[in-house]
Structure 1
Amino acid sequence: MPEGHTLHRLAAHFTKHYGGARVRVTSPQGRFADGARRIDGRTLLGAEAHGKQLFCAFDSGEWLRVHLGLYGAWTFGDADGERHLGAPRAAGGERRELARDAEGFVAPPPPVGQVRVRIASASGWADLRGPSACEVVSEEEKLAVQARLGPDPLRGDADPERARRVVAASRTSIAALLMRQDVVAGIGNIYRAESLFRAGIDPYRPGRAVTRAEWDALWADLAGLLRDGVRDGQIVTTRPEHRADPDAYPVARPDTLYVCYRTGEPCRVCGTPVAQAALAARTLYWCPTCQAA
């Protein structure tokens, strides 16, 4: 499932390439036909992300809300060429020369697969496939969705103290708490495991046993890692001194992560085999030595 940095990259892309443009909205698959009619022909003002939720604003006062889930992804054909953002798919390619219809909207290529939403402007197009949620909502409904989410470290309005109060009062493990979107929005399995490793925190430690200093450092580190992800388009959590080539950037796998997907391999810091276990319906990775209880 795409983590928070990907949604913020999507929001920035929509704002840059479609913000202020009148758009044609359709549903080739048909499942979003009613929603598409509500925003077809409107101006897309811009987009924002909150955790793993994407919100595209329209001049009607309504919003397109999208949660990609495990399988959702956007395909774009615009000034950045044809490419994909979301669940892993084929790499993008060069920009195509596209025809336009009588109203000036680009004519995208025939839809491939189950395209839930197609957005076309005068300069590009975007296709959405496989989201877990896709709907047109009012301003009040959007705010209600956001009210149920925890603070997003990438947003300027984030309140880390709100998340800390939940964590400090909970007997639940910090690893499980970090996966709850109502505690911290945008954190997925990779950022969860990697941030706890970098902090040296046992993933099974109860939230209430995490000190204030540890929480403040963990929040700051998560915010920094997410900002790096937005900038680079990839998750890199290893520090230069723990990579085979400290000067290489962007970092190539397998040097990007400390513990995720490295079960049984030696810890990059102490050499202890990386452990794994099921926690909060996902696979947890950690170093039993660097993150000792």
Structure 2
Amino acid sequence: MKKAIFMLGIVSAILAGCESDEKIENQSEENATTDVTARRSCAADDVLKDQIAENPSLAKKISDIEMFTQKKLNENFESRLVNGVIEIPVVVNVLYRNSAENISQSQIQSQIDVLNKDFNATNSDYNNVPTAFSNVKANVGIRFVLDQVVRKSTKKTSWGTRDTMKKSAQGGLSPISPTTKLNLWVCTIGGGTLGYAQFPGGSSATDGVVIDSRYVGTTGTAVYPFNQGRTATHEVGHWMNLRHIWGDATCGTDYCNDTPSHNTANYGAPTYPHYSSCTGNPVEMTMNYMDYVDDRAMFMFSTDQKSRMLAIFQAGGPRYSFAQ
């Protein structure tokens, strides 16, 4: 049902923005704060909204990518694999003012380890998936390899969500080989934002994922309740074309048939079963990585989410260059 109406909602979903109790639109360095947040806030959809406002043709490109994705989901495609999985080199760009923000190599590696566990269903909490969803929990089959770490000292107190951290000319670090390597920026974002990602289709000059240094990995500066590395898992999901599970609208669509309709984002660690107010009052998949729950409460991707992610690596897809 969700898939049948996908074209109707593509552009409206793109323009809807990312909603939470701490909604951030057009955030700049000047209005950003550096308080540690107690509730997840992702700016990926807000950033996309801003990018479309600046470049209206991007909306058509995103729509075309969605059409390509849906077409591939109806085909039997084969992934380009390395020993059974797609392998993604990761460049970590660290922008720091002090030793705490200059996170250690071990903290960075702990984040890579989390990504590998979460995307290959070897996370220790994978078996906590309720029986009701056990038939759709997925091993995505994507491996992440730490390619290099680039560090740069800065005087900026926060970077906001306008991609300044991705531009060397503005004091940040420009991406390295963004068409073949996933660039991950670690910095103080501000404004209560844990992280954000660029969806497939955006400019390669700003492509990648941004995570606040306090929510990276499982050690060092990682702060509870976002100290299990799941912020990066969530944002990399966006980078691979996944939407928030509630579709960034009341009972919206994430274009996945096997994820129940959510009326809105969930926070904290909801008690199972948590019922939606959407049509049919389905039990929500609150433990999905694309909800807003705490790190300890998210531990699965669905089969349709897996298919969406793998589709973008197929010939003609927006991330095909990573799979060659």
**TM-score class, shorter:** under 0.3
TM-score by length of 2: 0.25
Structure 1 or 2: more strand by fraction:
1
Which structure has more RCO (C-alpha within 8 Å, separation ≥ 6)?
A: 2
